[in-house]
Amino acid sequence: MSAPLENIAIIGGGGKIGRIILRGLISAPQLSIIAFKRPGSTSTFPSAPNLKVVETDYTPDALASHLEGQDAVISVIGGTGLTDQRGIIDAAVTAGVRRFFPSEFSINGQSEVARQLLPFFAVKQETLDYLVEKEKDGLCWTSLIIGPLLDWCLANGFLGFDLTSNRATIWDDGNTRFSCVNEAALGKAVVASLEHPAETANKHVYISSLNVTQNQILQALEHSTATTWAVKHTTSTEQIDAAREMLAKGDFAGGFTLVKASCWSNVPGLRQHFEVAEKERLMNDVLGVESESLQETVERVLAGERSGEYYV
């Protein structure tokens, strides 16, 4: 059995998703974590006995030096920095790192339909292809695919539900089912992946703690608020056409709409319901991912919204 991965470097740990993963890492006392930040960066990090923050200019030599002795690198780089991952991978190989987690933690980019829908997923696939090449140099990889973060996306409005005005935007018939996890489940799954290096080596690892539809979310919200919500209906075709037009004009907000489309649109072949489409690669049992309640998730998010404790 492979030894657990315990010395961990995280890149992008000050970002929105990075902070969620970092919280999971520092909650595991057996881990020793380095979080990288650029000189002059305004990113903030929590104080924890097993966390060290290191400034670096991200040059290959500097990164390789900082990565010596690290077991794994977790990349949570945002969209504009995805192409930088190749240099980080090279530095990891030079430093003798055993495992690399590319910046996935999102929708199912292994769907050819999703890659055609979202142009930036071609860059993610290039990174994955490069990682496969580096297997010969002793570097393993794990691509963790989670779908949308339900509680986080619900709280910030990404899912199309306005918690302050009780308004919802529903795509198509609202019955497209998609898999997802909550914030805490993501953090625990990353830690569990480090604890099970053999089972997660060189694999696309799928997890899901809930699978839901937009209509089910709406029903749960109406139940918790004891209110009938105002609903606006739209279609996948309308949203995708508008998003592509925005991108053609240089408005990258259209990319966020295409991400939404990859989650709950009715476009065939997106494979967003992991329990069905990716059943053989779903690793809930290995990673200890437990089923969660949609109603409890909704009530927790609403309680946080009322108290000002947002998921950001």
Query: pTM score, two decimals?
Result: 0.94
pLDDT at 157: 95
pLDDT of residue 312: 42
Asked if 42 and 103 sit in the same domain, the reply is yes
The domain spanning residue 238 has which CATH number?
3.90.25.10
User: Band of the pLDDT at 79, cuts 50, 70, 90?
Assistant: confident
Residue 81 has pLDDT above 90, yes or no: no
**pLDDT tens digit string along 242-287?**
999 999 999 989 999 999 999 999 999 999 999 999 999 999 999 9
Share of the chain above pLDDT 90, in %: 88
Q: What is the pLDDT of residue 311?
A: 45
Domain range enclosing 37? 7-147+182-206
Which of 133-137, 281-285, 307-311 is least confident?
Answer: 307-311
As for how many domains the chain has, the answer is: 2
Amino acid occupying residue 216: Q
Boundary of a domain, candidates 166, 190, 206: 206
Task: Please tell me whether residues 236 and 142 are part of one structural domain.
Answer: no
Q: What is the pLDDT of residue 305?
A: 63
Contact 99, 70 (CB under 8 A): no
Gap between the terminal Cα atoms of the chain: 38
**pLDDT at residue number 306:** 55
Measured CA distances, 237 to 97, 180, 244, 252, 263 (Å): 44, 23, 11, 18, 14
Same domain for 161 and 63, yes or no, is no
Q: Quick one: 123 and 98 in the same domain?
A: yes
Q: What's the whole-number average pLDDT of the chain?
A: 94
- 2 lies in some domain: no
Asked if the model's pLDDT at residue 307 lies above 80, the reply is no
pLDDT for residue 37 is more than 60: yes
Question: 77 and 14 in one domain?
Answer: yes
Q: Is 101 left (phi over 0), alpha (psi -120 to 50) or beta?
A: beta
Residue 262 shares a structural domain with residue 291: yes
Among 27-36, 131-140, 252-261, where is mean pLDDT lowest?
252-261
Averaged over 213-235, what is the pLDDT? 98
Burial of 74 per CB tally in 10 Å (0-12, 13-18, 19+):
buried
